[in-house]
Amino acid sequence: MFNKQYKNMQSADKNIQWYKSRFEAFEQGLNGEKSKPVHALRRNAFRIFSENGFPTTRQEEWRFTNISPITKIEFQPVLNFEANGISKADIKEYTVAGAARAVFINGMFSKELSDTGMLPDNVIIGNIANVLEEDTGTVQPYIDRMASAPENAFTALNTAFLRDGVFMLVPKNTIIERPVQLIFLASDSKYAYAAQPRNIITVESDSRCKIIETYIGLAGNTYLTNTVTEILLHENSHLEHNKLQVESLNAFHIGTARIIMHARSNYTSNVFSLGGSLVRNNIDVVMDAESSECTLNGLTLGTGTQVIDNHTAVDHAKPNCSSRELYKSILGSESRGVFNGKIIVRKNAQKTDAQQANRTLLLSDNAVMNTKPQLEIFADDVKCTHGAAIGQLDDEQIFYLRSRGIGLDAARDILTLAFAGDVINKITIEPLRFQVEKIVFNSLDNSKARQKRKTVSV
Amino acid sequence: MSLLEIKKLHAAVNGKEILHGINLEVNEGEIHAIMGPNGSGKSTLAGVLAGRDIYSVTEGQVLYRGKDLLQMSPEERAREGLFLAFQYPLEIPGVNNSYFLKSALNAVRKHNGLDELDAMDFLHLLKQKTKIIGMDESFLNRPVNEGFSGGEKKRNEIFHMAVLEPKLSVLDETDSGLDIDALKSVSEGVNRLRSKENSTIVVTHYQRLLNYIVPDFVHVLVDGVIVKSGNKDLALKLEELGYDWVRENVQQTV
Ligand SMILES: Nc1ncnc2c1ncn2[C@@H]1O[C@H](COP(=O)(O)OP(=O)(O)O)[C@@H](O)[C@H]1O
Ligand SMILES: [Mg+2]
């Protein structure tokens, strides 16, 4: 036992040595940028990362999710753009009709595949690599603010190798009708790489927009996506933030979103996790002013031996805010789901109204769900409810469908999709909703083929 | 021609035998009523016919269109034209009625070598059937039975039947929960769907329904056995004298 632990520690240590060598190589290639303020942030983040190392299951935040497989692989951080032979045809299935589009290949911006021309002229949208190069000074404050708290090892690692991603600023009084889709493609590759995009999205007061983050693995290879999206919502701004994740089933995906909300702002997050062998989503919302509303929805589909972990945290820092949370998981085969929903209500955050629900559908006897609400309430005049339920498909419902001529597998699929339906229906972008519905439905079929479940025979 | 032949059927639930040797033959075009007090095994019989797996058949045989019904999966039975209107229709949240019926009808059609209906033809068919049953079209886009009143659920069962056009329908207490107007219109729907080839087994414990759906035969089921069979007058007699009358009668003949 001791030996094994020691060995693992050694491998994690070795892995940090690996990133150290990569960081040095990165710095050597930087030339002039080394003296820019952003590089001080990188250095600081790398120092924190190398001091703390990767988290282990002994840390409360990572209790159910052992990330040691990630520490056993030497992922090569992607620092330069390569097209990798990817063309528009490769993304066709995932593009959302009518949306403006920024496309990234292995974390680096692809000008050729992107099209943001149809957005209103006053909207600033660009890629970070380019923005840093131009160094106009407008973006620096945003970068400073976002990168200042790399307490999480993966966020620190992302900051250390900060290179590219989306920078978007929606100015005051602007309503963007078209959704903005950010597509992150992972290409096939002979070596394992780390794609680490960093996205910074700011919506100024009285403005509204809808964004979609789409993560796609184009092949079945092993790589790491370690992505961080930082969002700042000013007074009375609205953002619908959708995320569809269909990475390679051999890939790792760590996705962090940090959202700061100002007064009367409104944030909705819809997260669909389908791909990846090991997935961790962190969503941290800070409701930093009065009368804001946030809604967090999630749907997880686990097959094979996938591990999909959703950690959400809503910090009710000020009074009169409401939060609504609905996370659902559908777990087949030997997949495992984790949900940890933290709700903090600060001492002065009176009249907080927080609701949280976590529901899981287990499609196999070997699938496992770990769910944990974590309420930390310091105010007294609040309304907080939470509930967790884990169940299976209902035999009587299955029989009802079969009694009408619907086959067993189709009956299971229909009921499973119905379970997922209320989360899918939260998407207000119609073409995206259809797309997600189709992808979810198709993966149900796939999961069935892969999954050796005992069929009910009559 | 014989559509259904039940021979010496014994069935159990949770290891307890409920049906103790049922014999029943239903020919094409006939309507049979099965009457019996609560707990006599009516729903058990209906469930066995539809293939609900909580019931185990311990003895006996069921031939449907000459084939061994008990060897067939529930969906095969349905595709071969057997239909059960549930005593307690299930609610299926998140699945709307028309999507549900489209999946069902296309599965049945495919089994019978017919092309799947496209969206237009299917919608046309649905609308036509809602008229026959006297159901509001708004029910098409609602989740199956969710939030329906008791009567609406029963009417929806008959609507399913109208769309699927089964050869043999088993209506399990379709009358319970219906007020007199609903009873009339649902019965009217059932009657309109009648034909020389189709047969119906009407399960009920009140005679009332049989004023509207007039049976060719009436069978009385008590404690898992058919104790008496006759024509529609038997139902009237039962209504007048109650099930105790049959029970006493049976004891006398034993
Ligand atoms: N799932 C079950 N488990 C145990 N007993 C059952 C079950 N279903 C039915 N029964 C019993 O079987 C008998 C017949 O029930 P049922 O067929 O529903 O009667 P009916 O429809 O004539 O009212 C009753 O005694 C009932 O309690
Ligand atoms: Mg009954």
Q: Write down the ipTM of this complex.
A: 0.97
Phi, psi of A102 (to 5 degrees): -120, 125
Name the residue facing A403 among B78, B101, B111 (closest C-beta): B78
Beta strands in A204-237 (DSSP E): 208-217, 224-233
A406 in B contact zone (CB under 8 Å): yes
Nearest residue in chain A measured CA to CA from B72:
A458
Residue with the nearest Cα to atom 6 of ligand 1?
A: B13
Asked whether residue A38 is domain-assigned, the answer is no
Number of domains in chain A: 1
Asked whether residue A20 is domain-assigned, the answer is no
Name the residue facing B52 among A399, A414, A421 (closest C-beta): A399
CA pair distance A132, A324, nearest whole angstrom: 37
CA dihedral (A248, A251, A252, A257) positive or negative: negative
pLDDT digits (tens, 9 = 90+) for B181-239: 889 988 998 998 889 999 999 999 888 899 999 999 999 999 999 999 999 999 988 88
Quickly state the pLDDT bin for A163 (edges 50, 70, 90): very high
Taking the model in full, what pTM does it have? Answer: 0.92
Query: Do B169 and B200 meet the contact criterion of CB atoms below 8 Å apart?
Result: yes
Asked if the model's pLDDT at residue A457 lies above 60, the reply is no
User: Mutating which of A328, A359, A394, A400 best tests the B interface, going by the most B Cβ atoms within 10 A?
Assistant: A400
Asked whether residue A434 is domain-assigned, the answer is no
Residue from B43, B174, B202, B221 to probe ligand 1 pocket by mutation (most atoms less than 8 Å from CB): B43
Nearest residue in chain A measured CA to CA from B92:
A397
Query: In degrees, to the nearest 5, what angle opens at C-alpha A354 toward C-alphas A349 and A360?
Result: 150
Q: Ligand 1 centroid vs B53 CA: distance in angstroms?
A: 14
Residue from B9, B10, B13, B205 to probe ligand 1 pocket by mutation (most atoms less than 8 Å from CB): B13
B204 lines ligand 1 (CB under 6 A): no
User: Minimum-distance ligand to the CA of B47?
Assistant: 1
A400 vs B53: CB contact, 8 Å cut-off? no
Asked whether residue A250 is domain-assigned, the answer is yes
Asked whether residue A11 is domain-assigned, the answer is no
B42 lines ligand 1 (CB under 6 A): yes
Residue A373, domain extent: 76-395
Q: How many residues does chain B have?
A: 254
Quickly state the pLDDT bin for A154 (edges 50, 70, 90): very high
Nearest residue in chain A measured CA to CA from B108:
A405
SS3 (DSSP) at B177? coil
Q: Ligand 1 centroid vs B203 CA: distance in angstroms?
A: 14
HSE-CB at A367 with a 13 A cutoff on CA atoms is: 29
Asked whether residue A352 is domain-assigned, the answer is yes
According to DSSP, residue B142 is labeled: S
Query: In degrees, to the nearest 5, what angle opens at C-alpha A290 toward C-alphas A285 and A292?
Result: 50
CATH number for the domain whose boundaries are B4-253: 3.40.50.300
B114 lines ligand 1 (CB under 6 A): no
Helices (H), chain B: 42-50, 74-79, 97-111, 119-133, 150-164, 180-192, 232-241, 243-253
Which single residue is written with the structure tokens 């820019």? Answer: A36
A458 in B contact zone (CB under 8 Å): yes
pLDDT in tens, chain B (254 residues): 799 999 999 999 999 999 999 999 999 999 999 999 999 999 999 999 999 999 999 999 999 999 999 999 999 999 999 999 999 999 999 999 999 999 999 999 999 999 999 999 999 999 999 998 889 999 999 999 999 999 999 999 999 999 999 999 999 999 988 888 889 988 998 998 889 999 999 999 888 899 999 999 999 999 999 999 999 999 988 888 888 888 777 655 44
